Structure 1
């Protein structure tokens, strides 16, 4: 398992990656009410598939991480993400998205070291 965290202001994100043989499941959550908002799954040679639950917008994060993973990771992957902050500002949305993608970049670097 890989465990990563980022905090900035009132935003806290946690990324946990669990291995299933050659595959990986990534859980990215945070904020006031972590939840399951969006799931993006894929592999190197097939199109990405995203499931957006209700009106959640975390696909901005999951799809960016997925694009990076599919270039560097040989196995299948699923990225589940949900982060909620009460009264979030547009600046915090931008910051949360950047933090999530940054955690994904760090994960890809760690996976390349395996």
Structure 2
């Protein structure tokens, strides 16, 4: 008999708006581990992926020309600290022609989404065995 995972109940979905475009974070609890996607701006895409293993060791792949590895590494390490389970984080947030101060505003938004995600996860996390 297959176990059916109720994805709606096991997903944290967070949204913020910047320059009339959505930035969204989806944190999906799996049977063992978490899958996180951070997407938005003018063009959502795959920019970087970071995986934290059971010990919290990070491995990151970043596509050429992308800088989302700072986001994926931060999210993977901080979510791992709460869950102590494997974590995968994919990020692709793109805005055309941002000035430095605008980039800093996007980073603040992402930090707030991470904080909100961590708060919600701390309410939900229960140790699971393999």
**Considering the TM-score relative to the shorter chain, is it more than 0.5?**
yes
1:18-63: per-residue Cα shift (whole Å, max 9, x none)?
Answer: 2221311101001111000011110351421111011100112111
Structure 1: state its 5+ residue gaps.
none
Structure possessing the higher relative contact order (Cα contacts under 8 Å, 6 or more residues apart): 1
Which structure: larger Rg?
2
Structure 2: state its 5+ residue gaps.
1-10, 125-130
Q: CA RMSD in A?
A: 1.6
Distance (whole Å) between structure 2 residues aligned to residue 113 and residue 49 of structure 1? 27
Choose the corresponding residue for 1:73, options 40, 65, 83: 83
TM-score (norm 1): 0.89
Aligned to 1:89: 99
Q: When the two structures are aligned, how many residues end up with a matched partner?
A: 114
- Judging by fraction of residues, say which structure has more strand: 1
Aligned to 1:52: 62
CA contact (8 A) 1:40 1:62 kept: yes
Distance (whole Å) between structure 2 residues aligned to residue 19 and residue 43 of structure 1? 15
Distance (whole Å) between structure 2 residues aligned to residue 88 and residue 10 of structure 1? 14
